[in-house]
Amino acid sequence: MIAPRGAIACFGEVVLRLSVPYGELPLQSPRLDAYVGGAEANVAVALAALGRMTAMISAIPEGAIGDGVLAELRRHGVDVARVQRRAGRIGLYYHLPDGGALRPAEVIYDRAGSAFAAMTPENWDWDALLDGVGWLHLSGVTPALGPEGAAATLEAATRARAVGIGVSFDGNWRGRLWERWQPDPAEVLKPIVAQTTVLFGNHRDAALLLGREFSGQGEDRRRTAALALLDTFGSIELVASTAREILGPDAHRMTARIDSRDDGRTTEPMMISPIVDRVGTGDAFAAGVLDGLWSGAGLAEVARRGLALAALKHGLRGDFVPLSRAALDGATAGPRDITR
């Protein structure tokens, strides 16, 4: 896949994540750790760290908080010229980390009425926003926010494809957001996926979009799900996915695969332990896959690079994975001694 000629634009809400300290209940101590994040922003930062030219398309509130968010994106090399400043508030989500074997991690959203969520489709000037863009990355989080976000995502994808811009879409299922307004998410998502070039989705996404069950057990069944997506949506060229086996609160085993109509490649399982922070690992996978595709790597290497960046993200706190190409190239599944 040819590298994009122009910026890689990521459209979505930039949020603040407020994390409860590990091993504590909310407000057990008078502290919440704050991080800038958001699915699409995570991809923009990761690709910028790998040397790609990235830009954020979003809306951020006026004032000191918005200033700080923009400064954080700039610090990681993301172009914010396409970010609008609006009255309102920043979207939030609260992260309650794993508390052990009997208390899983949890995310609580506080995004309704944010400056981004209040945007209407008419507020986005896609002719201007897509000028100089060579690739557009979207995710299922934005349409899950409400009908305005869904309409804007569809228009962005449609307009991009109409002018020859490749589109990647990450399903990023967010049940707590969808249940607020849409009992049939597939109805919203299918027209968006129909404009997609590279789809990040597994057998669960296939089941949602196609209305029938698929198994994620075994490589043959995972390829069956990918082929069903490729057969249904003619615009899709590649489907990328991961499979995660949770062995314990801080020990997971992961594999990744890439499927085209003619080929499918999977990685060897990778043991990931200890886990510092799981949030944003799917976005890291997406960035690693896209970078691998644009580097001209074969499907097996693309899957490996995506999995490697996802694995590296498990060891970093916060949403972002601002690791260099050298760090990704040097990633190994085995233990490493100190580099001196």
Positions annotated as catalytic residues are: 283
Length of the chain equals 340
CA–CA gap between residue 238 and residue 231 (Å, rounded): 11
CA–CA gap between residue 205 and residue 225 (Å, rounded): 9
Residues 241-274: b if buried by 16+ CB within 10 A, e if exposed:
bbbbeeeebeebebbbbbbeeeebbbbeebebee
Asked whether 64 and 72 are in contact (CB, 8 A), the reply is: no
* Enclosing H/E stretch for 86: strand 83-86
CA–CA gap between residue 207 and residue 336 (Å, rounded): 40
Residue 165, sorted as left (phi over 0), alpha (psi -120 to 50) or beta, turns out to be beta
